Amino acid sequence: MIKVIEPDTDKVTKKAVKALMTEIHRDDSKDRNYVNMQVNPCKMCMPMGGAMALKGVKNAMTIIHGSQGCSTYIRRHMAAHYNEPVDIASSSLSEEGTVYGGSKNLKIGIRNLVNMYQPEVVGVLTTCLAETIGDDIERIVREVRETGEFDGIDIIPIPTPGYGGSQTEGYFDTIKALITYFAKNQVQIPGKLEKSEVPFINIILSDATCEDVREIKRMVELFGVKALFIPDISDALDAPFTNHYNKLSEEGISREELKKVIYAKATIELGDLVGANHSPALFLEETFGIKAYRLPLPIGINNTDCLVHALAEVFEKDMPTALEVERGRLMDGMIDAHKHSATGDIAVFGDMNLVMGISCLVLENGMRLKLAATGSMSKRFKEQLESKLDQYQQKAEILQDTDYEIIREVIQREGVNLMIGPSDGKFIWEKDHVDFIRVGFPVHDHVGAQRKNLMGYKGSLRFLDEITNHLLDQKHKGYRDRMYQTYYPKKESHKPIQADEAAR
């Protein structure tokens, strides 16, 4: 039960509020994963993932059907993380729209954005509010199309209720909606269902930085084959500086390419923790018979091997020599790091797929995984992580649907010396001075998060080096003081005595 704090009593001191919050937070169930209130949740909402996916589609514009705050929140996070201009429209639902339905707002919003941006694709994402009042966006979008005013523009309704999951489900659902929409339009053209002879593969990659996408593209190219990245944020959200400004990204997967998705030899979905009903790869397999490979994010040597083996199997090719060399270099780097890895007591938090990938790298390099935490809920996350922990004979706290209050508590209790996750962990870093590597989304207090490479053999090695260097810095920092205190324990400090102290 959530108790109500009377604000005018004045008896509610800061301490009492804290005690009350703890009581609400913990509940009696003794189940760490069960909370009925969250403080600073460890996730973003579904439309955030939807907006992210649409940013990787060429000439696409997003409109968020809900109150203005939802699109502001998403724009603010994306602009700060990518340091790129991020335009997202809002149907700007107010009291009237909330009570009588938001159809009018959404229709006007779509007309305005088409006039301003002239997009080829419009993704209409819903929010908590639009879903709660029960707005039927399928019908509203159908009515918009039937006016004939927007012929030639693909307007796609995508349900993404903020409370329906995390940004991960929103991301995968949006990809699935795009594929479904373009596949549906495609089958209406006679003769087009024939599988193409051109060998290419679909790659759906979650939680990747722009540099990660470029790296996986490079790995695929080493096989001498082609891939469609759905979506492709590599240049769209990390564009080079030019003298002209486009309101919409000219990079990303085009709608013509989205129509070709159903002719691929296979689909590799990297990030395999969402439920089957959210998986675009399984949808393509069930509907069009395109073989689905659902794999973990290629972070660490074992996970990257899974991707390379899948590519080799699909195209019936051997592992390219260049990749063999990179794999060997990663192994060499693992040997270099191993004498320092054992000093790592690591906490990983953020999106579940990324947490899983990083946890695998931590475990395979002999660090102690103390905490793996995500704001999402996934049976697969817990099962796969437990099995990995068993494999490496380790035990770690696994938290789902969690928040940064609980994460902080576990980090303090377990003596974690390195945190890895998005910028939301910075409050723990500030308050408790626990070392911190920022990865994932959002990273808004550092620059360059979109250019970090964590995936593939090369990315894993770079990331492992970064982790090891943090552990080495911890060892070197204060080393002389620690030695002095150990061998001359009676002295308070080895600092030279000041003149005024000596005089006393």
What residues line the site for ligand SF4 (CB under 6 A)? Answer: 45, 47, 66, 70, 73, 127-128, 162
C-beta of residue 154 within 8 angstroms of C-beta of residue 121: yes
**Residue at token pair 């035990």:** 395
Tokens of 315: 């195209």
CA distance 332 to 268: 28
**CB of 72 or CB of 469, closer to ligand SF4:** 72
**CB of 66 or CB of 298, closer to ligand SF4:** 66
**CB of 177 or CB of 371, closer to ligand SF4:** 177
How far CA 420 is from CA of 359, 424, 436, in Å, comes to 10, 11, 6
CA distance 232 to 394: 37
Cβ 41 to ligand SF4 shortest distance, Å: 9
**CB of 72 or CB of 196, closer to ligand SF4:** 72
Residue count of the chain: 504
**CB of 75 or CB of 214, closer to ligand SF4:** 75
**CB of 298 or CB of 350, closer to ligand SF4:** 350
Cβ 66 to ligand SF4 shortest distance, Å: 6
Cβ 48 to ligand SF4 shortest distance, Å: 7
**CB of 68 or CB of 469, closer to ligand SF4:** 68
Cβ 162 to ligand SF4 shortest distance, Å: 2
Cβ 125 to ligand SF4 shortest distance, Å: 9
C-beta of residue 58 within 8 angstroms of C-beta of residue 252: yes
Backbone angles phi, psi at 67, to 5 degrees: -80, 165
Cβ 123 to ligand SF4 shortest distance, Å: 15
CA distance 436 to 405: 17
How far CA 177 is from CA of 78, 159, 165, 339, 468, in Å, comes to 22, 9, 16, 48, 41
One DSSP character per residue, 262-306 reads GG-SEEEEE---S-GGG-HHHHHHHHH--EEEEE--S-SHHHHHH
- Residue 372's beta-bridge partner residues? 348, 398
C-beta of residue 42 within 8 angstroms of C-beta of residue 224: no
Cβ 158 to ligand SF4 shortest distance, Å: 13
Q: Check residue 41 and report its DSSP letter.
A: B
**CB of 169 or CB of 345, closer to ligand SF4:** 169
Cβ 151 to ligand SF4 shortest distance, Å: 30
Cβ 74 to ligand SF4 shortest distance, Å: 7
CA distance 305 to 452: 20
Q: At residue 231, what is the residue type?
A: P
Cβ 113 to ligand SF4 shortest distance, Å: 19
CA distance 378 to 385: 11
Cβ 127 to ligand SF4 shortest distance, Å: 4
Give the 3-state secondary structure percentages of the chain, helix then strand then coil, rounded to 5.
Answer: 50, 15, 35
Tokens of 243: 């003298």
- Residue 419's beta-bridge partner residues? 347, 436
Closest CA to 360 of 335, 381, 336: 381
C-beta of residue 51 within 8 angstroms of C-beta of residue 88: yes
Q: Which residue is nearest to ligand SF4 (CB)?
A: 162
**CB of 123 or CB of 162, closer to ligand SF4:** 162
β-pair type (345-349, 418-421): parallel
Exposure pattern of 6-33 as b/e (b: 16+ CB <10 Å)? eeeeeeeeeeeeeeeeeeebbeeeeeee
**CB of 49 or CB of 252, closer to ligand SF4:** 49
One DSSP character per residue, 98-127 reads HHH-SHHHHHHHHHHHHHHH--SEEEEEE-
**CB of 45 or CB of 410, closer to ligand SF4:** 45
Q: Check residue 327 and report its DSSP letter.
A: H
Cβ 64 to ligand SF4 shortest distance, Å: 8
**CB of 102 or CB of 162, closer to ligand SF4:** 162
